[in-house]
Amino acid sequence: MQRAMNTPPARFDAREASKWFFRHGHTGWLGLRFTDQGDNWVELELPWREDLLGDASRPVLASGPIISLMDMASGMAIWQASGSFNPVATLDLRVDYQRPARERASVRGRVECYRRTRSAAFVRGIAYDDDPDDPVAHIAGVFMTIGADPREANPALRGGGHD
Amino acid sequence: MTDAAAAFGDLPAYARSLGIEIVGEDGGMPVLSVGFGPMVEGRPQHFHGGATAGLLENAGYAALRTALLAAGRDPQLKPINITVQYLAAGKSKPSFAIGRITRLGRRNANVTVEAWQDDRTRPIATAVMNILMV
């Protein structure tokens, strides 16, 4: 990380970012929660909810919200790996369903960013309800960076630095 | 309930709570739509990729159920996989989606889905789904 004349924005931290990411919008509506993180991975939880059922005959979370969970965990894994909050856009996301989630179970999504280039980031991960060794789904995705860290462009977000 | 919704049946709870509706039909397949609002918003004033995927997936299932009903079949559907291609940002206006059955087999179906906003010829996302029928 560069430390020149100006103080760079604080390193992106998924745990801290979650405090405001999940207050509004789609992920707020889903009620996503932060659970864990590493240098290049993030794990989030999608809590069980009656109105997110995908099938009237079984109390099992729909696959749509699981895609949202994995998409969000993917973006955050990329920011966690790069250390900066550069906006990214999903280019391609593939979900292979291994089995239905258990009845009335919350689902966790753990995604790692295993490779970044100047313009693309590659992720892979699992969704699981109980045991990470028995996942509900595997995912793989490619994201494109679409701009600079908004904190770089907005001095108010610089965290006390000066030009 | 619109006439189209009456013709194609109910959407799952998840689709209804996200505000996805059946708004019409094209070539015998249901057209689904979701309006823009906080429930689908990702980065400011844009659709969250997950919400777009949810619309695509529901349109895929709705198309498959329609084709199966026409064939006099009513199996349970299980997802095998979905691959979503994001082509353009979903802006702060309604999105639409329709599915097309590429192949309807005995045990599995391959469904292609397209989502667009105001210009049907400029899709914002597409998906391919493999669905198991038991």
The ranges of chain A with pLDDT < 50 are 1, 3, 158-163
The CATH class for the domain spanning B3-133 reads: alpha beta
Residues of B in contact with A53 (CB under 8 A): 12-14
Tokens (6 digits) for B121: 């010829």
Query: Cβ atoms within 10 A of the Cβ of A5, count?
Result: 7
* Pairwise CA distance, residues B14 & A48, whole Å: 12
pLDDT of residue A161: 34
Give the start-end residues of each E strand in A23-103: 33-37, 41-46, 88-97
Confidence of residue B125 (pLDDT cuts 50, 70, 90): very high
Residues of B in contact with A91 (CB under 8 A): 85-86
pLDDT of residue B81: 94
ipTM over 0.95: no
- B87-124 tens-digit pLDDT: 999 999 999 999 999 999 999 999 999 999 999 999 99
pLDDT of residue B43: 87
Residues of A in contact with B83 (CB under 8 A): 92-95
| Closest by Cα among B16, B32, B35, B12 to B90 | B35
- The secondary structure element, H or E, covering residue B60 is helix B49-70
pLDDT of residue A155: 53
pTM, 2 dp: 0.89
Chain centroid to CA A131: how far? 20
Percent of chain A with pLDDT over 90: 63
Tokens (6 digits) for B74: 């009513």
Tokens (6 digits) for B37: 């609002």
* Pairwise CA distance, residues B51 & A29, whole Å: 11
**Given the structure tokens 């509900």, which residue do they identify?**
A136
**Nearest CA distance, B11 vs chain A (angstrom):** 9
Mean pLDDT of B4-8: 65
What is the SS3 assignment for A124?
Answer: strand
What is the SS3 assignment for A151?
Answer: helix
Nearest to B81 among A53, A72, A95 (CB): A95
- B33-83 tens-digit pLDDT: 999 999 999 989 999 999 999 999 999 999 999 999 999 999 999 999 999
Supply φ then ψ for residue B83, to 5 degrees. Answer: -120, 120
In this complex, do A62 and B13 lie within 8 Å of one another by their Cβ atoms? Answer: yes
In this complex, do A71 and B53 lie within 8 Å of one another by their Cβ atoms? Answer: yes
Amino acid at A103: E
